[in-house]
Amino acid sequence: MAQDQELLHLESLCKQLYETTDTNIRNEAEKALVNFINSPGCLQNCQLLLERAASPYSQLLAATTLTKLVNKGNAALSSEQRLEIKNYVLDYLSSRTMVAAYVQQALVQLYARVTKVGWNDTVKDAFSMRTVTDDLGKFLHNNSSMHLAIGVQLMTRLVIEVNQMTETEVHHSITWHRKISFAFRDTMLYQIFEIACELLQKVYANIKTMDLNDNIQRSFVGGSLQLALTCLSFDFIGTSNDETSDDLSTVHMPTSWRKALLDFSLMQLLFDLYKCLPPNLGALVLSCLVQMASIRRSFYINSEKNEFLNKLVTGVKLILESPQGLAEPTCYHEFCRLLARLKSNFQLGELVRCESYAVVIKLVAEFTVTSLQMWQFAPNSIYYLLSLWQRMVMSIPYVKASEPHMLETYTPEVTQAYITSRLNSVAQVVQDNLDDPLDDHAVLSQQLEQISQIGRCQYEKTCTHLVRLFEEAAQKFQELTNAGNSSAQLTIQENILSWLVYIIGAEVGGRVSFSSTDEHDTMDGELVCRVLQLMDVVDSRLAQRRCEKLDLALLSFIEHFRKIYIGEQVQRTSKVYKRLHETLGLSDESMVLSIFIRKIITNLKYWGESEAIISKTLQLLNDLSVGYSSVRKLIKLDAVQFVLTNHTSENFPFLGVNGMSTFKDTRCRTTFYLALGRLLLVDLGEDEDRYDVFMRPLATGARFLAPFSNTFDAVAQMLNQAETPMFRSEECKRSLIGLARDLRGVAHAFNNKTSYMMLYDWLYPNYFPVLLRGIELWYHEPSLTTPILKLMCELAQNRSQRLQFDVSSPNGVLLFREISKMLVAYGSRILALTHLPKEQLYAMKLKGLSICFNMLKAALCGNYVNFGVIRLYGDRALDDSLEIFVKMLVSIQQAEILQYPKLSQSYYALLECLASDHMSFVSNLEPDVFLYILSTISDGLSAFDTLVSTGCCSILDNIVSFLFKRVTKKKSSQEVNGMANGDSLVQILETRPQILQQMLGTVLNIIMFEDCRNQWSMSRPLLGLILLNDKYFGELRTNIITRQPLDKQAAMERCFTTLMKGIEYSLLSKNRDKFTQNLSEFRRDINDSLKTDSSKNCTALPTTQTNGSIDMM
């Protein structure tokens, strides 16, 4: 009775969870169900719910709860319980085929999950989960369509589950996943693939009698195709490809599969099925063909490869001759992918030798032209078509076959079709207010890169076509402009010119030096002249009318021209400049640069409200300021000199902070001043007067920094009124944000001692207090704190040894004091913000802490402050900084450190610095803090980020080395500058020896059983851990050996003997190097020892916990 009542209660909770619209009721139900999941009788209750529940929601709860239990691994379920769950699910699905679809899906997922997790389980000396084909035979050998569909679904889900590492497996290493995946590949996958092929043959044999309108039969056919596709898409070599990456990859099918594919009957079967099946199922057929076309080239010998390619090309020809099924978008997309694979996996010389090549290349060209003209139909598929033509064109220089490739005939058609279709689309986009392809910059850039290579084949025809279209469009644009027309017709014409400018820029950027001729450069000059003339026209009317798309296109053109025709590698005799001189009077690179700078200044003046144009314009300026020769030509231009002395908001509105400025994102200001700083440094030397002029726009009295001085003084005056009603908070804040971003760019550019000291002397002591006051007032606003903290972090960087102060200079100490003040002011205030919402936690707190860690690390590792002297004379700056670091650290949840990559990298980098140079501080931390740090180190050792794991090895090595010295010397602790030298650390680890023992197990486990990418780094702390825990290491060694199969124990024993051969009880460099050499041999021998057939079960060390962290408390 009590059991029935509990079931009814659970059903009621499920109904509330899934059906109610009341948020409070749903939350209460969710809390109650969480308690159910964690209850002791959960397993039994789930079975009762599946058997007796009246609601499918209750059955869904039971299935998902069982999946969560399975995900917990051995901690929640034994091998026998997992086997029982697997058998129960199969029996349940076999006897109850009519359960709700979502319940069935959850049970299929449960079966796949429990099979993968328990793949190495043994019950009664047999692998209990490796009976897949026998278990699912009762479904696949059943005449019921429903059973067949369920069996195929189970098999497909299992292959997918084994093939990919899911989010629920984060507590497992990638090595655990790969071992299961490879074992499944070697023992089970081929059998499943054979079953899939048999099912497809069965489908084809009975296709005329099957009713594909019936959901169950259609599900069976689609499932069979999906099963074959899943097998063909298996990650055979463990590369773990991201599904979002470029899918023009190779299928590394094992040679043992040759017998299934050698007679090419499967390919013919798939082409036959494509003709018989409706288009939505035909897409799956084509997906299978795509994978088959991607099989590695070495899978077939030459004669087989040619036959395979011939059959594939013939099948493609038949589809192109009867393209009706391609009207389905998914089918069309997969066919485009198949065409792309023809060139990605085969050479052009092989393609031209195919019997049907001449017909197929003609059909593909016609298909491509038609597809380009239908620009709204499946636009994402165009990438694959253009990729095919791009790869073929790029292969032309390498073709040695005598047969003609005929690309010179068809590529001009493809190029012209692309250009014409884009221009023809403009009117419809504007008139019908459709999504404009010009706004999708990622796709646009990708397509332009492809068409630039295609257009370079028969470049004369491409240029002639572009010149004709450009002149027609420019003439019509001029007519509409002169008529004062501001209607949609002018907008259409502007967008047409935008397309043409983009394409011309791409074609110029597609120039390849080894295949280009003087004639090609002359043609480039023709195109460039027309674009530069258009740019003059557009700039002359910016005050009356502006077109953002056209200006973005012009910037794209300039960037392509800069990469090809400006710089150290450009031939000075290029025909481009000859043509520019004849037409526009631009005889050399300097004159062209003056045009570009004028365009940059014009954009900065007129486009202050456009983030896209301002950011791209400044990126162009930044790129121009990097080149050695171009920057020296730029600095001689009057326009550049004007910018260096007049960089104010009056001349460049995007620098403004008043209410009229609508440009909110001020991050581009850093790029602007980074470029200006580089330009200033070219001729700056030790000319302080010239530097003062630059800084004047930023504080009164000083030429480059002058605008900054004015703004700083104005901000300082406003901050003095912070407690009064006269305080203009928003204006002051915006000014301070702009200043911080500007000065960060300047500080980054000033990378030598002379220029940095000019900046420092300008900032100190007048302007550091202004930055500090801003942090004190607006510590809770990341929009202000982030720029200021990043500025201080940049000032702390000893880049290119720029902070090498003179012996008599106190500037190093003074700079560190300002850094310390900033850390304390921000840290003490931000820690007062508690109970932040999770979605705001990083932006409001963790990002700022990450920057603070970087700042402190830069200061501690900069080698411009003698910290021993600071403490000797009673200066609290270092102690205050370290104390606030500890407070900031303990306010962070341990799981959050690795959750946010920037935070983890900054934290571990700082910790490495502290463990290297400030071990006396680390060793005297409070026990809870030190244990917290050790726990984070343990987590970091297993991190996927190699920088983090390598840093953790270094940190652990420093700690272990320090402890080893203390233990071996056995001297009484001495007071050094008021700090006990390591006593608390020794006491903690003496009372809790399991801490270092668990760390030893973690490192050894990574080296022996995981994909250790930094073996040398791991070897450094391992020796110290072994020497400090020699007795435990002996026990661990014995444990590992006894856990191996009997025939492997002697080999494992020899491995450990090799590891410690010739190792002394010391951490001297010679002994460390010897141990590192031994470890390399040890790991190689371990890998050889563990190499066995897939039926062997090799278990990792039992000393590390499943979540990768160690129990410090």
pLDDT single digits (tens) 846-890: 999 999 999 999 999 999 998 888 888 889 999 999 999 999 999
Residue 507 confidence (pLDDT) above 90: yes
CA distance 91 to 108: 12
Residue 978 confidence (pLDDT) above 50: no
pLDDT score at 700: 34
Token pair for 1086: 């371990």
CA distance 551 to 599: 10
pLDDT score at 686: 61
pLDDT score at 573: 59
pLDDT score at 1098: 46
* % of the chain residues with pLDDT over 70: 90
1111 vs 309, more confident: 309
pLDDT score at 658: 59
pLDDT score at 1107: 37
Confidence of residue 988 (pLDDT cuts 50, 70, 90): confident
Confidence of residue 980 (pLDDT cuts 50, 70, 90): very low
Torsions phi, psi of 818, nearest 5? -65, -40
Residue 132 confidence (pLDDT) above 50: yes
C-alpha distance from residue 11 to each of 22, 57, 885 (Å) = 17, 8, 51
Residue 125 confidence (pLDDT) above 80: no
DSSP state of 411: H
Q: What is the pLDDT of residues 947-965, one digit of tens each?
A: 899 999 999 999 999 988 8
pLDDT score at 316: 95
pLDDT score at 969: 72
Residue 966 confidence (pLDDT) above 90: no
Token pair for 1: 């009775």
Sign for the pseudo-dihedral over CA of 262, 266, 270, 272: positive
Q: Where are the alpha helices (DSSP H) in 891-945?
A: 894-899, 901-917, 919-923, 927-941
What's the one-letter identity of residue 328? E
Tell me if 342 sits within 8 A of 313, measured CB to CB.
yes
Q: What is the pLDDT of residues 198-217, one digit of tens each?
A: 999 999 999 988 888 888 89
CA distance 740 to 786: 9
* % of the chain residues with pLDDT over 90: 48
Q: Calculate the dihedral angle through the C-alpha atoms of 203, 206, 207, 211, rounding to the nearest 10 degrees.
A: -100
Confidence of residue 702 (pLDDT cuts 50, 70, 90): very low
Confidence of residue 2 (pLDDT cuts 50, 70, 90): low
- Residue 1073 half-sphere exposure, CB side, CA atoms within 13 Å? 3
Residue 512 confidence (pLDDT) above 50: yes
Tell me if 39 sits within 8 A of 45, measured CB to CB.
yes
Q: Report the helix count and the strand count for the chain, using DSSP H and E.
A: 53, 5
Token pair for 336: 């485009």
Tell me if 983 sits within 8 A of 1016, measured CB to CB.
no
Of 97-106, 240-249, 441-450, the poorest mean pLDDT is in 240-249
Instruction: Tell me the mean pLDDT in the region 166-190.
Output: 79
Triad 318, 323, 328: Cα angle to 5°: 135
Of 321-335, 403-417, 659-673, 842-856, the poorest mean pLDDT is in 659-673
Instruction: Tell me the mean pLDDT in the region 994-1022.
Output: 85
C-alpha distance from residue 401 to each of 304, 352, 354 (Å) = 19, 8, 11
Mean pLDDT over the full length of the chain: 86
C-alpha distance from residue 910 to each of 222, 362, 539, 846 (Å) = 55, 62, 50, 15
Q: Shortest CA distance to 885 belongs to which of 959, 828, 938? A: 828
pTM (global) more than 0.95 = no
Confidence of residue 351 (pLDDT cuts 50, 70, 90): very high
Confidence of residue 664 (pLDDT cuts 50, 70, 90): low
Find residue 710's DSSP bridge partners: 698
Residue 329 confidence (pLDDT) above 80: yes
Q: Where are the alpha helices (DSSP H) in 974-1068?
A: 983-991, 994-1009, 1015-1028, 1030-1043, 1046-1059
Q: Cis check for the bond before 765: say yes or no (omega within 30 of 0).
A: yes
CA distance 69 to 313: 50
Instruction: Tell me the mean pLDDT in the region 783-800.
Output: 94
Residue 492 confidence (pLDDT) above 70: yes
pLDDT score at 247: 53
C-alpha distance from residue 933 to each of 47, 574, 575, 924, 1109 (Å) = 44, 61, 64, 13, 11
DSSP state of 979: E
Residue 899 confidence (pLDDT) above 80: yes
Residue 566 confidence (pLDDT) above 80: yes
pLDDT score at 706: 65
Tell me if 215 sits within 8 A of 97, measured CB to CB.
no
Give residues with Cβ within 8 angstroms of 650, minimum separation 6.
Answer: none
Confidence of residue 275 (pLDDT cuts 50, 70, 90): very high
Tell me if 110 sits within 8 A of 67, measured CB to CB.
yes
pLDDT score at 59: 85
Instruction: Tell me the mean pLDDT in the region 422-449.
Output: 93
Confidence of residue 360 (pLDDT cuts 50, 70, 90): very high
Q: What is the pLDDT of residues 217-240, one digit of tens each?
A: 999 999 999 999 999 999 888 775
573 vs 628, more confident: 628
